[in-house]
Structure 1
Amino acid sequence: MMNNKQNLIALFSGLLFGLGLAISQMIDRERVLGFLDVVGKWDVTLMFVLGGAVGVTLISFRFILPLEHPFFDRQFYLPKRNDIDTKLILGAVIFGIGWGISGFCPGPAVVSLVQLTLNPIIFILAFIGGSLAYKSLKIDKG
């Protein structure tokens, strides 16, 4: 069970992430669809969001990962696999199709709920449905 420090860090991180998504307009599906339209009227502005996120991560991880453990936990939770398999490729393709059709990623869709419009609600319900379908198919075994 998480302690209070972990809960506060999770709350702060989520608020910071949501605020960043809103300020960068990642919750504006028209802007995201414009970014994905690389052969049409491409909107390059979200490339700066990606660059900022990757830049901060590259710099901060150089200081954080050498630590024995995170500040408020006993261990780091890092992926143990780095291979590329069929499930990864298929999942990425399906994710990309869903992102291209809807203009939403899961995180920005949750933040978009504050706009009280129907599109993010439909997306979140479909996202939950897709997750439940995956779980019911037991694809992850093996």
Structure 2
Amino acid sequence: MSSESRSPWFLPIIYVGGLVFGFGLAISGMAKPEVVLDFLQFEDFGLLFVMGGAAVVTGIVFAIATRSDRTAPLTGSSYVRRVKEFDRNVVVGGSIFGVGWGLSGICPGAAYASVGIGNLPILWAIGGMFLGAYAQGYWRSRQADSDAAVAPSD
């Protein structure tokens, strides 16, 4: 959908949603790597309740929205289920994400909130996230180029 057909409220609401998300992470303590690492070491299960609460709310909204003939209020797009194939890329990417989460003690969304509460050393983890995303994009484009060169012409 083009940006011209979006509601003028689209970006402001996105920013407000991000602020609410960040404040929620900060208030719940989930923006602190030590809390996340305690969860990953089975010492503190508070993160389970935060993630579980988010999953329940998202699941209810998603179930209702995809069963109605309504469209998204800000974009006008219809709600549809996008089914992603469970392949090798999902397993490899999820494994790399999990290792990074375990090493840094923080996931990408919470990393930005962690900077907001004064945890400046987390900028190293954010730099690593950007570097990893860049490397993956570079590798993917090189792979697509080599696949196009090998593909037979019709």
Q: Could you say which TM-score interval applies, normalised by the shorter chain? A: 0.7 to 0.9
Is residue 5 of structure 1 aligned with residue 6 of structure 2? Answer: no
Further displaced range: 124-133 or 73-82: 73-82
- Secondary structure of 2:70's counterpart equals coil
What's the counterpart of residue 56 of structure 1? 57
Further displaced range: 98-107 or 81-90: 81-90
How much is the aligned-residue C-alpha RMSD, in angstroms? 2.0
What is the rounded CA distance, in whole Å, between the counterparts of 2:109 and 2:38 in structure 1? 18
Q: 1:63 to 1:79 in 2, by over 3 A?
A: closer
What's the counterpart of residue 152 of structure 2? none
What is the rounded CA distance, in whole Å, between the counterparts of 1:119 and 1:110 in structure 2? 12
Residues 33-72 of structure 1 correspond to what in structure 2 (within 5 A)? Answer: 33-38=37-42, 42-65=43-66, 66-72=68-74
Q: Which runs of 5+ in 1 are unaligned?
A: none
- Which entry has the higher C-alpha Rg, 1 or 2? 2
Q: 1:111 to 1:69 in 2, by over 3 A?
A: same
More helix per residue: 1 or 2?
2
How many pairs align?
Answer: 139
What's the counterpart of residue 32 of structure 1? 36
What whole-Å deviation, never above 9, does each CA across 1:101-138 have from its counterpart, x for those lacking one?
11010000011112333321111111111111111111
Identity among equivalent positions (%) equals: 34
What is the rounded CA distance, in whole Å, between the counterparts of 1:120 and 1:46 in structure 2? 19
What whole-Å deviation, never above 9, does each CA across 1:25-72 have from its counterpart, x for those lacking one?
11010010000013xxx2111111011101111222233232431011
Q: Which runs of 5+ in 2 are unaligned?
A: 148-154
**Which of the numbers 73, 96, 110 marks the counterpart of 2:112?**
110
What's the counterpart of residue 123 of structure 2? 121
**Which of the numbers 78, 97, 100 marks the counterpart of 1:98?**
100
Q: 1:11 to 1:62 in 2, by over 3 A?
A: same
- Secondary structure of 2:114's counterpart equals helix
What's the counterpart of residue 87 of structure 1? 89
8 Å CA contact 2:39, 2:45 repeated in 1? yes
8 Å CA contact 2:31, 2:114 repeated in 1? yes
- Secondary structure of 1:14's counterpart equals helix
What's the counterpart of residue 19 of structure 1? 23
**Which of the numbers 132, 135, 139 marks the counterpart of 1:133?**
135
